[in-house]
Structure 1
Amino acid sequence: MAEQENGAETGAQEQQPQVKMTTLTQFVRDLSFENILAQRGAGGEVQPDVTVNVHLEPKKRSVEHQYEVIAKLKISSKNKGTDEDLFLLELEYAGVFHIEGVPEDQLHPFLMIECPRMMFPFFRRIVSDVTRDGGFPPLNLENIDFVAIYRQEIARLQAEKAKRADA
C-alpha cells in the first residue's frame, strides 16, 4: 500500500512542473531626488506627510525564460501644517529574472507579485539612503502589498476594456 501512495505522489509531482526562479540582476534605471525644503530655505516646525505611489511594469525579454520587472516609485512629502512640498523622490528600480515552470496563465501574477517581493528590500534601502543623504530622516518604507497592487491593476485594465467596449 505504501508503494501505491508513493506512486500517486510521484505522479502528482510530475504533473506540476517545479518553479525555478533566479534573480539575474537588479539595478537602478532612474533616480531623482529634489529637496524642495532646502531650495526654498524655509525653517520652522516640519511635520512630514509622506505619500508613496508604486507602479509595476513586467515584460518579457528577448532571451527565453527571462523577464524584467520595473518598480516605479514616486514618493512625495508635504508639511502637514502648511501643505508645502518637502521633497520628491522618483525611483525606477529593475530586476531581471530567469523563470521556468510557471504556467502561462499564472505568469503575469507571478511577475507582478513574487518578483517585486524579491526586489523590495533593495529598493527600500535605496529610498532610506537617499532620503537620509538628502537631509531628511531615513524613510523606511512599510511592507508593500503587491497582491493589492496586482488586483488594482487588473481592475484598472478591466475598466479600460469596458470603456473601449462601450465606445
Structure 2
Amino acid sequence: MAEENGAAAAQPTPPKMQVVAQFIKDMSFENIAAQKGLGEGDNTPDIQVQVNLDAKKRAQDNQYDITVKLEVSAKTKEGGKPIFLMELEYTGVFLVENVPDDQLHPFLLIECPRMLFPFIRRIVSDVTRDGGFPPLNLENIDFLALYRNELARRAAAENTAPAGTA
C-alpha cells in the first residue's frame, strides 16, 4: 500500500488551463465596397487573413492575457479593389497551472488561442454578415505552424543581424 501511494505521488500533475474571461479588446469593420459604390459584378473576393498573437503575464498568479489579432481583408480578384476590411483583437484571460517553465511559452501561444478560435470564427462570421456580405467562415488556423514559423523567423533574424548589434 505504501508503494502505491509513493507511485501516485511521483506522477506529475497534469497541466490545468481555465478560461477566466474572454472579450473583444478592439474591433473595426469597413464596408469599402458600399462606400465606394462598387457594383455587384465587381465583388468576387480575394480574402486574406493575417494572424498575430500576444501573451502577457497578469498580476495574479498563473494568469495570462492571450490576444489574437486578426486582420481580414477582401479585394476584388480582378483589379484588386478593396471590398471590406476587418480588424479584431480578441483576448482571453487564462489560468494556467502545472506547466513546466520551458513549455509555458508554446502552451500560451498554441493551446490558448485554440480555445479562443471558435469564438473568433463566430464573431467574424456575424460581423461580415451584418456588414452586408455573406458570412465568412474562417478555416481552422494551425497555431502550432504559426508558432514554429515565428521561431524560425526569429532565428533567421538573429543569424542575419549585423555583427556588434545587440
Return the TM-score normalized by structure 2: 0.91
Kindly provide the amino acid, as one letter, of the partner of residue 26 in structure 2. D
**Offset at 1:63?**
1.0
Cα RMSD for the two superposed structures: 1.9
Query: 1: CA distance between counterparts of 2:15 and 2:122?
Result: 28
Q: Which of the numbers 60, 63, 66 marks the counterpart of 1:66?
A: 63
Deviation at 1:156, TM superposition (A): 1.8
The alpha-carbon deviation at position 164 of structure 1 amounts to 3.5
Aligned match for 1:28, one of 24, 38, 60: 24
Aligned pair partner of 2:107 in 105, 110, 124? 110
Deviations 1:63-105 (A, max 9, x none): 1100110000000001112211100000000000000000000
1:160 matched residue in structure 2 = 157
1:130 lines up with 2:127 in the alignment? yes
Identity %: 55
Map of 2:33 onto structure 1? 37
Q: Deviations over 1:117-155 (max 9, x none)?
A: 100011110000000000000000011000001011111
Gaps of 5+ in 1: none
**Alpha-carbon distance, 1:11 to partner:** 5.4
CA separation in 2, counterparts of 1:164 and 1:7? 54
The answer on 1:139 being equivalent to 2:136 is yes
Secondary structure at the residue paired with 1:120?
helix
> Over residues 27-48 of structure 1, what are the superposed CA-to-partner deviations in whole Å (9 max), with x where a residue is unaligned?
0010010111000011031211
Q: Stretches of 4+ moved more than 6 A in 1?
A: none
Alpha-carbon distance between aligned partners in 2 of 1:127 and 1:112, rounded to the nearest angstrom: 21
Between Structure 1 and Structure 2, how many residues are aligned? 163
Q: Distance in 2 between matches of 1:143 and 1:87?
A: 21
Q: Secondary structure at the match of 1:73?
A: strand
**Map of 2:145 onto structure 1:** 148
59, 62, 82: which one pairs with 2:79? 82
CA distance in 2, matches of 1:127, 1:165: 41
SS at match of 1:83: coil
Q: Which residue of 1 aligns with 2:90?
A: 93
